């Protein structure tokens, strides 16, 4: 991939370990709000529900407010725990407040960024909420690695919409043919990037989709095999 000059990373589930940080956040906010809930049972249903709500959000089928409320309501219903709307609204706010106080990144994150930073121009393209993503980058120590950060709320559309990729490419002064996208979502990150002419590498951090035709890694330092 000698033609690559610009590398665009997704943030959540790619560099920033969303599932781990989210689990610690729920443990904290359940304590704050006096909820005696089996955390493991809750997370086992919340994580796939959250994944589906983000898919709906990308497709403009739910609002930001509906995502924040619905993923909690549906998860509590799934484990047959009755929680008032007022508590759900409070948990939703607390979740955003405390999520960025936990800043675990995937193994190899800083090593691979240090390896790449002098060879390529590095960028972020994320669908996450603006206020949360900025804090994640700042507090985790990731911010200074990236020349540009493009957020879906800045552009008004979400990956895989080509507009967000083209916006980010323009901000980076990069051509698609010299650009590489690395992300964990085959639809949002990989198909979205390929559809605008970029190269792409799928970060299958959970080793869930071994049979795919796209370039694939399960550990960030495997990027050294390509770059």
**Domain hosting residue 221, numbered range:** 6-17+105-225
Same domain, 76 and 170: no
Same domain, 13 and 28: no
Same domain, 135 and 79: no
Taking alpha carbons only, the member of 80, 102, 104 closest to residue 29 is 102
Taking alpha carbons only, the member of 76, 193, 163, 16 closest to residue 214 is 193
Same domain, 69 and 175: no
Domain total in the chain: 2
54 domain residue, yes or no:
yes
**Residues 158-201: pLDDT tens digits?**
999 999 999 999 999 999 999 999 999 999 999 999 999 999 99
pLDDT confidence tier of residue 21, bands split at 50, 70 and 90: very high
Domain boundary among 73, 99, 125: 99
pLDDT confidence tier of residue 211, bands split at 50, 70 and 90: confident
Average pLDDT, the chain: 96
* Distances 28 to 32, 73, 102, 223 between C-alpha atoms, Å: 6, 18, 10, 34
């Amino acid at each position: 991939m000698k033609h690559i000059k610009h590398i665009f990373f997704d943030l959540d589930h790619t560099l920033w370990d969303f599932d781990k940080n989210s689990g610690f956040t729920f443990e904290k906010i359940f304590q704050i709000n006096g909820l005696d809930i089996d955390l493991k049972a809750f997370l086992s249903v919340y994580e796939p529900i959250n994944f589906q709500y983000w898919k709906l959000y990308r497709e403009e089928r739910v609002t930001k407010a509906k995502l924040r409320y619905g993923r909690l309501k549906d998860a509590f219903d799934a484990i047959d725990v009755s929680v008032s709307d007022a508590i759900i609204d409070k948990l939703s706010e607390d979740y955003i407040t405390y999520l960025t106080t936990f800043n675990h990144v995937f193994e190899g994150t800083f090593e691979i960024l240090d390896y790449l930073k002098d060879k390529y121009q590095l960028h972020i393209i994320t669908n996450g909420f603006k206020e949360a993503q900025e804090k994640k980058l700042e507090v985790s120590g990731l911010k200074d690695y990236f020349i540009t950060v493009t957020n879906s709320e800045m552009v008004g559309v979400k990956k895989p919409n080509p507009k967000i990729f083209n916006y980010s490419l323009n901000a980076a002064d990069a051509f698609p043919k010299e650009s590489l996208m690395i992300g964990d979502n085959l639809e949002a990150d990989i198909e979205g990037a390929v559809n605008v002419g970029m190269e792409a590498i799928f970060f299958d951090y959970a080793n869930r989709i071994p049979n795919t035709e796209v370039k694939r890694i399960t550990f960030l330092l495997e990027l050294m095999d390509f770059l």
